[in-house]
């Protein structure tokens, strides 16, 4: 299929919580699938791509709720800012899904967004709460 845009999971990506780490692993795979399936042609390819985007959106939403609940329980001081980042991500994924359903998706923009989300939010912002989660155990 498409080129590998996302790295394989590495131990250095861990945020110190088994549940969140496993969710991040699955998100990594779903992001790569979204990129891989963009190049599929025909009705089956379009349907499969939209299904993957739906799955990515649903899974990301579940993950973000899980993360927010855990951060609330462990007293993460930047929780409100983190929730705002999540809200922006939810809106952006919804826009991509809407564009895909209308046949107007900018694939390059989606690839760039998913890559940026992975590096800036998951490997950046999420790493800020690692110490709080580890103390909460």
For the stretch 8-65, pLDDT in tens is 889 999 999 999 999 999 999 998 888 877 666 667 767 777 888 889 999 999 999 9
Residue 127: which CATH number?
Answer: 1.20.120.50
Residue 61 lies in a domain: yes
For residue 112, the enclosing domain spans 33-136
pLDDT of residue 4: 56
How confident is residue 67, by pLDDT bands cut at 50, 70 and 90?
very high
Total domains in the chain come to: 1
Residue 16 lies in a domain: no
| Dist. CA 29–CA 8, nearest whole Å | 8
Residue 54 lies in a domain: yes
Cβ atoms of residues 38 and 107 within 8 Å: yes
Greater confidence, 2 or 131? 131
Region of 52 (left: φ > 0; alpha: ψ -120 to 50; beta: rest) is alpha
Distance of CA 117 to the CA centre of its chain: 7
Residue 26 lies in a domain: no
Residue 131 lies in a domain: yes
Its pTM stands at 0.87
Residue 110 has pLDDT above 80, yes or no: yes
């Amino acid at each position: 299929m498409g080129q590998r845009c996302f790295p394989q999971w590495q131990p250095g990506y861990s945020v110190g919580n088994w549940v969140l780490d496993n969710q991040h692993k699955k998100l990594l795979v779903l992001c790569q699938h979204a990129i891989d399936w963009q190049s599929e042609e025909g009705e089956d390819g379009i349907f499969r791509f939209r299904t993957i985007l739906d799955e990515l959106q649903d899974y990301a939403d579940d993950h973000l709720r899980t993360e927010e609940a855990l951060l609330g329980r462990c007293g993460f001081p930047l929780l409100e800012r983190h929730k705002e980042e999540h809200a922006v991500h939810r809106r952006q994924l919804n826009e991509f899904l809407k564009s895909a359903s209308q046949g107007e998706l900018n694939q390059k923009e989606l690839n760039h967004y998913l890559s940026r989300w992975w590096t800036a939010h998951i490997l950046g912002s999420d790493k800020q709460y690692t110490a709080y989660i580890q103390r909460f155990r």
